[in-house]
Amino acid sequence: MGKLERSDVQGLVVSGYAAMHHARYLLLRVVDPVMARRWLGRLADRITNSEAPGRRRCTNVALTAAGLAALGLDEHELGTFAVPFQEGMTAPHRQRALGDVGASDPATWAWGGSHGGDGRCSAADLHVLLLLFAPDERTMADVEADERAALEADGGLEVVLSLVPEPLPGRLSVGKFGVEHFGFADGLSQPTIAEGDDGSDPGRGRGQPAPIAAGEFVLGYRNGYGRLTPWPELRGPAGPRPDFGRNGTYLVFRQLAQDVAGFWSFLDQATREDDDEPSWARMDALAAKVVGRWRSGAPVVRSPHADDPSLATANDFGYAGPDPHGERCPFGAHIRRTNPRDVLGSAGPAKARELSDLHRLIRRGRVYGPALDDVLGGDDGRDRGLMFMALNANIERQFEFVQNTWCNNPKFAGLYHEQDPLLGNPAPGQGTFTVQDRPYARRVRGLSGFVTVRGGAYLFLPAISALRHLASRG
Amino acid sequence: MPLRRRDDAQSAFTIWTPVLPDHNDQLTRLLDELGDHIGTSARLPFVQMDTVHYASFAIMADGAGTPHLLFEGNVDGPARAFLERLVDVAGPTIDEIYEHCRGYPRTSGRTPADVVAHLCAHDIGADVFYVAWSGRTVAEMRREQDLRLHLQALLDAPGNQHLRRRSPQAIHRWLVRQVEQDPELTWAFVPSPRPFRVRHGRKLVLAGAAVPGLGVLGLVAAAVLPGHRCRTWTARAALVALGGTLGALVWRLRSHERADDRRDTARAVDWRESYAAWSANLGDVRSREDVKGQNHIASVQAIKAGTFRSGLLRLVLGAVHIVAGFIFNRGDLGGIASIHFARWVITPDGRGLVFLSNFDGSWESYLGDFIDLSAIGLTGVWSNTDNVVGFPQTRYLLFGGARDEARFKAFGRAGMVATNVWYSAYPDLSVANIANNMAVRVGLGADLDPAAAQAWLRRL
């Protein structure tokens, strides 16, 4: 249980590979389990671990429940995986809890749903997710060609879908941080993993929040309750492997399409005044209230009146002291919902932080699709958004909880009838967002669902040793 | 409108009746059908009865495995009055349901009074009854919601934007005038009486705890202070007896817990596997969850065998009942602010512990609250019970237990049954919303200083 075994943990856990400006996500289907296992065994030697991630090329791999079944795990063995992973993101009750309804209904997804685009990318067809990263375009092309050649050579799998995120740094990047399509710096608040035996983390940066127990993000280590989250065990006739799940974790993957024109058109309409002219200053101010950070990333709780790029990476803030009434950062703002920090229910600040920390995610998303240049000029019909990836040891308590109890919950923080203003799915033009203010709150109306789910899957990101074990079975 | 005394405003009834052999499936179908249309149903018109907060029907087995129909009600005023009204407006449906249960009065010559008497005779009540807002009626909650929406609409009206430039006190006064001019809203200024147990509950519990506390203190004083030798020695003997009894009880408890731990370690099948096998039953439960913002739990756990465990459980339930009713009667139960109505009740055969809860948000967040905020209370109750998963290992009745997150959640799930019919009178109001609406109404009728006026306006 001691220190994180970095050589066995896939690199994605500790790094978003920011130096790897290019990425390819290949979704594969197992055609021949014997050949596929052989491929997996060879792949294991190329997998980037957590020791020194981010050299010339990086390769990681994750598997769906259907993929593990296709590779030969029996029902009993699959039954030892976490229930949400077994059931999948599209099980009706999970779909409801995640708010994947209406335009985000899995029946309409391009991949991972019940039908899946052209009929080849349904949940049952998606078995393996191969994640490839490279620092430049040429290396990326080489890496992809090499991996496709390896797939052909072993012949056990076919590529059913290739997803291509936009190269980093994005056109609008701020420093080393990416900017998502709505125009905001993204990925600022990442939990730090407490790796040491004593839970301390020597690498903790100044001004960064306290590290989170390693077991929240990697199976086999103590979690936020000081316990071991149950992990998958293989005990089947193919050879017992009780620590199969150790050093692995669960990967939540969702393709989130963003309606950039719709978002800015809403901001424009909501901030028109008597002159009936668009005002960028007013739009930016409302957008900052919606997100909880200005475009640079500066938290509105720290800089309530204007953007302050010197605070762009600030992450050592809370709400209890400066903003108990939401008058700086609204209660319903995106970042206050997704991480309420030190204000939660009737708990005091220290307890609230302890409770918030039980629901953290490591995010590894990348933007896809071209930027929309004229955000007030209407939609250009191009697909754009975020390839959202989150790592967590307990999908129900972490990803699903954040999505259900914090983002989608109309009753969050004592509110009545509104969802996360960015991620919610109100009927077009029917959403409300309350901006706490003096002498009384402003209710901004006219929100639509600006984010639509286009595909998704729950995957298992195994330890490198577990990949070798899988390859050696049968 | 005359205001009646409401010191015992809400009641809980739990009507527990055995289902006739081979009638289980028919009854389930009937209940599912009623449940699917509960928001509009004329056959079971809870929605037209403004005295019921929550009601549910579910089928669960007693200790011998016999299926029983459980009818849960959380109502304003006495249970009997509600049941009389229910039989009056939905007699045929009640007949249709209970004709699948043993002992229901025969059709010929059956009067509504017979039906009510039958239902009341099978009411096993609640051993612990928790109400978020003791004394608040359905009608009041609905009216206060309308009032808040009305005030917000006034503030948001395009023609009233000049208000933003005025002081909080001036805005408050302006709103008060608007309400005063509306004859429909005069009720808003009539203070709503707070029940006795809300006003004095904490003091009463303190006083109740002081009696034995002072007794022990007195004994200690008599034992150590100089005095008559006979008195001193009697006091010392009493203290030794008291300490010995307590010690013996704790020792017995620990030996029970250690025996449970030994059995657990020797389990033939690991709890994870037992749970995985059992969870095939979960489909019916999950398919009903997260449809609205509120959820329901109906579960039954087996009370561990022996008089020690059942006695201890009754003692704990008694203590929790007092704490829930007299201390936590203002919107949160030990920090958990998402429960509207909840209860524990022991089945008549003494072998099952039923838990029913009507709460805001998801099951996952509710169980998380249990673990994070009230693990001690939940462990104190449920460590005396068992199911296919088994309660997590517990020390000294209160420690360990629920803090074992994964196993505690599996234990909680493994006792659950599907709630076939579930009615909520205000599915769009959270416990916090109800509190806020109440404070808006109270503040409207109050004379507010600038700070209080600003605090009040934040609620709108």
Q: Select from B286, B328, B434 the residue whose CB has the most chain A CBs within 10 Å, as the one to mutate to test that interface.
A: B286
pLDDT at A323: 96
Rounded Cα distance, A298 and A310, in Å: 8
CB B28 within 8 A of CB B217: no
Rounded Cα distance, B24 and B371, in Å: 35
A345 contacts in chain B (CB < 8 Å)? 335, 337
Judged by DSSP in three states, A378 sits in coil
* Residue contact A225–B436, C-beta within 8 A: no
In this complex, the residue of A401, A414, A436 whose CB is nearest that of residue B364 is A401
Q: Select from B145, B161, B365, B413 the residue whose CB has the most chain A CBs within 10 Å, as the one to mutate to test that interface.
A: B365
pLDDT at B329: 80
Residuewise pLDDT in 10s, chain B (460 residues): 333 444 457 999 999 999 999 999 999 999 999 999 998 888 999 999 989 999 999 999 999 999 999 999 999 999 999 999 999 999 999 999 999 999 999 888 899 999 999 999 999 999 999 999 888 899 999 999 999 999 999 999 999 999 999 999 999 999 999 999 999 999 999 888 777 878 888 888 888 888 888 988 988 888 888 878 888 888 889 999 999 999 999 999 999 999 999 999 999 999 999 999 998 889 999 999 999 899 999 999 999 999 999 999 999 999 999 988 888 888 888 889 999 999 999 999 999 999 999 999 999 999 999 999 999 999 999 999 999 999 999 999 999 999 999 999 999 999 999 999 999 999 999 999 999 999 999 999 999 999 999 999 999 9
pLDDT at A201: 46
* Residue contact A230–B368, C-beta within 8 A: no
In this complex, the residue of A93, A229, A443 whose CB is nearest that of residue B287 is A93
pLDDT at B196: 80
DSSP assignments along B387-412, one per residue: -SS-PPPEETTTEEGGGSHHHHHHHH
Rounded Cα distance, A26 and A35, in Å: 18
CB A21 within 8 A of CB A60: no
Where would I find the beta strands (DSSP E) of A231-339?
A: 249-258
- Report how far Cα B62 is from the mean position of its chain's Cα atoms: 21
Q: Which residue in this structure is represented by tokens 């934007």?
A: B161
- State pTM to two decimals: 0.95
Rounded Cα distance, A112 and B306, in Å: 52
Below-50 pLDDT ranges, chain A: 198-204
- A182: buried, middle or exposed (CB in 10 Å: 19+, 13-18, 0-12)? buried
User: Under 8 Å CB-to-CB from A338, ≥6 apart: which residues?
Assistant: A402, A406, A407, A420
Q: Is B458 on the interface with A (CB under 8 A)?
A: yes
Omega before A439 within 30 of 0, i.e. cis: yes
DSSP assignments along A3-69, one per residue: S--TTTSBGGGT---TT--EEEEEEEEES-HHHHHHHHHHHHHH--BSSS--SS-EEEEEE-HHHHH
Buried b (16+ CB within 10 A) or exposed e, B322-342: bbbbbbbbebbbbebbbbbbb
* Residue contact B405–A325, C-beta within 8 A: no
* Residue contact A346–B432, C-beta within 8 A: no
Residue of chain B minimizing CA distance to A356: B372
What is the predicted ipTM?
A: 0.93
In this complex, the residue of B166, B361, B404 whose CB is nearest that of residue A227 is B404
- Report how far Cα A350 is from the mean position of its chain's Cα atoms: 26
CA dihedral B327→B328→B333→B335, nearest 10 degrees, is -80
In this complex, the residue of A346, A397, A401 whose CB is nearest that of residue B337 is A346
Amino acid A23 reads A
CB B20 within 8 A of CB B102: yes
What distance in Å separates residue A344's CA from the closest CA in chain B? Answer: 11
Q: Which residue in this structure is represented by tokens 């590894």?
A: A364
Strand bridging mode A366-368 / A385-392: antiparallel
Q: Which residue in this structure is represented by tokens 């709503």?
A: B192
Q: Is A227 on the interface with B (CB under 8 A)?
A: yes
User: Under 8 Å CB-to-CB from A306, ≥6 apart: which residues?
Assistant: A294
Sign of the dihedral through C-alpha B325, B330, B335, B340: positive
Q: Is B78 on the interface with A (CB under 8 A)?
A: no
Rounded Cα distance, B297 and B320, in Å: 19
In 3D space, the residue among A459, A389, A351 whose CA is nearest the CA of residue A81 turns out to be: A459
pLDDT at B39: 85
Q: Is A381 on the interface with B (CB under 8 A)?
A: no
pLDDT at A177: 60
In this complex, the residue of B152, B335, B371 whose CB is nearest that of residue A347 is B335
Rounded Cα distance, B390 and B274, in Å: 9
In 3D space, the residue among B196, B194, B198, B189 whose CA is nearest the CA of residue B443 turns out to be: B189
Query: Diameter of chain B by CA atoms?
Result: 86
Q: Is B332 on the interface with A (CB under 8 A)?
A: yes
CB B381 within 8 A of CB B315: no
* Number of other residues whose CB lies within 10 A of the CB of residue B92: 9
A405 contacts in chain B (CB < 8 Å)? 361-362, 364-365
Residue of chain B minimizing CA distance to A230: B406
pLDDT, tens digit (0-9, with 9 covering 90-100), for A359-400: 999 999 999 999 998 999 999 999 999 999 999 999 999 999
In 3D space, the residue among A207, A422, A181, A175 whose CA is nearest the CA of residue A309 turns out to be: A175
Q: Is B292 on the interface with A (CB under 8 A)?
A: no
User: Under 8 Å CB-to-CB from B254, ≥6 apart: which residues?
Assistant: B395, B396
Rounded Cα distance, A34 and A238, in Å: 14
Question: In the numeric block, which tokens belong to residue A430?
Answer: 């029917």
Query: Diameter of chain A by CA atoms?
Result: 76
* Residue contact B364–A92, C-beta within 8 A: no
Q: Which residue in this structure is represented by tokens 């009055």?
A: B81
pLDDT at A384: 96
Strand bridging mode A212-213 / A193-194: parallel
In 3D space, the residue among B28, B409, B393, B7 whose CA is nearest the CA of residue B197 turns out to be: B7
Chain-wide mean pLDDT for chain A? 91
In 3D space, the residue among A96, A89, A406, A408 whose CA is nearest the CA of residue B289 turns out to be: A96
pLDDT at B40: 86
Judged by DSSP in three states, B209 sits in helix
pLDDT at A1: 57
Question: In the numeric block, which tokens belong to residue B314?
Answer: 């009754």
pLDDT at B134: 85
pLDDT at B82: 96
